[in-house]
Amino acid sequence: MHDHPDLIATAISPDGSKQWRLLRRADGLHTYDEETLEEAVYMVEEDGSERDIVAPARWTRTVISGLFETSEAARTDALGALPWLCGVIAECEDRRQLTRDSAASCRTANHP
């Protein structure tokens, strides 16, 4: 048994600044998280020009959910907790089909 959860689904916000991940733990419970992209930090010269990267761009976890019995329960909770996710995942919009734009931003781990 491994300690790392399996990735079930992921979605990226339309502006690319946030990422949602739906995970299944080894014990069968489900959870989700949201990560926010932090831009690279540059050293700035006295004249205002950017020089070297002090810290590279990286994803920082900003939301960690509780535990859920099913992936559906975790997804439903995420849709209520993360306002941007409703625009990406079809379940929040009367369970309609994903548009071409949303399909590019929302994919399951088994069906890229």
Domain assignment present for residue 1? The answer is no
SS3 86: helix
pLDDT of residue 49: 83
pLDDT of residue 51: 78
Tokens of 66: 């509780």
Q: 73 is in which domain, residue-wise?
A: 6-107
Burial zone of 22 (CB within 10 Å; 0-12 exposed, 13-18 middle, 19+ buried): buried
**Sheet strands (E) in 27-71:** 30-38, 41-44, 50-55, 58-64
Q: Which residues of the chain are under the pLDDT cut of 70?
A: 1-2, 90-112
Q: What is the mean pLDDT of the chain?
A: 81
Chain center to CA of 37? 10
* Interatomic CA distance for residues 38 and 92, integer angstroms: 27
Domain assignment present for residue 78? The answer is yes
Domains: count for the chain: 1
Q: Give, for 103, the enclosing helix (H) or strand (E).
A: helix 100-105
pLDDT in tens, 3-31: 889 999 999 999 999 999 999 999 999 99
pLDDT of residue 96: 40
